[in-house]
Amino acid sequence: MQQLFQEFGHPTYVPFPVIAARLLLASIFGAAIGFEREWRHRPAGLRTHILVCVAAATFGILTIEIIHAPMFQQDSVRVDPIRVVEAVTAGVAFLAAGTILFSKGEVHGLTTGAGMWLSGAIGVACGLGLWQVAALGTLLVLVAAGLLYSFAHKSGIGEKAGPETPMSEEDVSKPPKG
């Protein structure tokens, strides 16, 4: 029984309040990006971006813990923290690719996919304690998604001018003509 208590009382390199703050901040930043996508009725909204950002932050925290864990301090064990970042990047890119559709000669969901990818990067930054990077990344994506979207559509440059309408299930399920 004592071993069980020791297992759950395992000390971490990063103090628990800091871990909680990093995960909470990741959820807030992910929510900010996801809310913008949800507000525009785009796929992969609030919950998805929160999950991606918190998962990536968790992997960032785990990376720090693995580097400092006694079991990985042996000469026979090599730890490369950049591999975790690469794995998160690949995993989130896989999810983001699922939001991109090609229908009727047009690409849909590219901005949502890019937002998910950036949510993963922001999550890793939160997990590693790089608050400034995460905050600036979130701010820039909101500016790009909000202000630049409005400017591009009002001026007729960039993506198609006019109101952004969500794709219906019918659009998604129909094969392209041609």
pLDDT digits (tens, 9 = 90+) for 26-66: 999 999 999 988 887 877 889 999 999 999 999 999 999 99
Task: Quote the CA–CA distance of 175 and 104 in Å, as a whole number.
Answer: 8
Domain membership of residue 105 (yes or no) is yes
| 139 or 169: which leads in pLDDT | 139
Q: What's the angle, vertex CA 122, arms to CA 119 and CA 126, rounded to 5?
A: 135
Q: Which of 92-101, 104-113, 136-145, 167-176 has the lowest mean pLDDT?
A: 167-176
Evaluate whether residue 5 is within a structural domain: no
Residue 22 lies in a domain: yes
Residue 8 counted as domain residue: no
Residue 35 lies in a domain: yes
State the angle between helix axes of 16-39 and 110-127 in degrees (0 to 180), rounded to the nearest 10.
170
Domain with 57, as residue range(s), is 14-173
pTM: 0.78
CA atoms lying within 13 Å on the CB side of residue 136: 5
Domain-located, residue 130: yes
Whether pLDDT at 172 is above 50? no
CA distances 64 to 61, 121, 156, Å, are 5, 16, 47
- From 9-13, 94-98, 128-132, 133-137, the region with the lowest mean pLDDT: 9-13
Per-residue pLDDT, 158: 61
Which pLDDT tens digit goes with each residue over 71-129? 788 877 787 889 988 999 999 999 888 888 878 888 888 888 888 999 999 999 999 99
Number of compact structural domains in the chain:
1
